[in-house]
Structure 1
Amino acid sequence: MPTTLDAQKKRAAAIAQVDANADAEWKAYALGFIAELSGRLAEFTTDDLWDAGLIKPREPRALGPVMRRAAKRGLITTTGAFRASRYRNCAPLPVWTAA
């Protein structure tokens, strides 16, 4: 029977794989885009980044690891709130703000 730890490991592996397969130039561009936009918006979700003109890579899930990287670098922080995605069947998205 799968455990919570198994699920966490599987999720971490999937995130790492998406990140490894994403184009390095796009990841650098997206990180800069996040840094710039976070300074102009009080709060935002990944949907707001797409709406603001962030160019989508061939695999849009690559934005997840970039968001984590931005948070680890102290560019953004989560507010603890969630909003329904406009593009992913109302999936809950974390709300971010500039750090």
Structure 2
Amino acid sequence: MESGEKERPKKEAFREPGLRGARTTSLFRAVNPELFIKPNKPVMAFGLLSITLCVGYLGYLHAVRDNQQPLYEAVDGDGEKQMRRRTSRWD
């Protein structure tokens, strides 16, 4: 062997990086599979799209509901009549 070459490490010295190469119990792997399963990009993209569409739909429903609230006539402390939208007690 020449002086510029380094010895290659043994195959046993290398393990997979991260938790996949760690020594764990079967119970830990069963409870935390997301730590050991390789990421699946198409499934991740589908999930992200689904969550985005659901949140957008909920926002749309909230905006439409605000416009459909019935109006009622309210009287101020000054005695003036005003038209107001009904609001929920939760708001």
TM-score by length of 2: 0.25
Give TM-score scaled by structure 1 length.
Answer: 0.23
- Higher share in strand: 1
Q: Select the structure with the greater relative contact order (CA < 8 A; seq sep ≥ 6).
A: 1
Higher gyration radius (CA)? 2
Greater fraction helix:
1
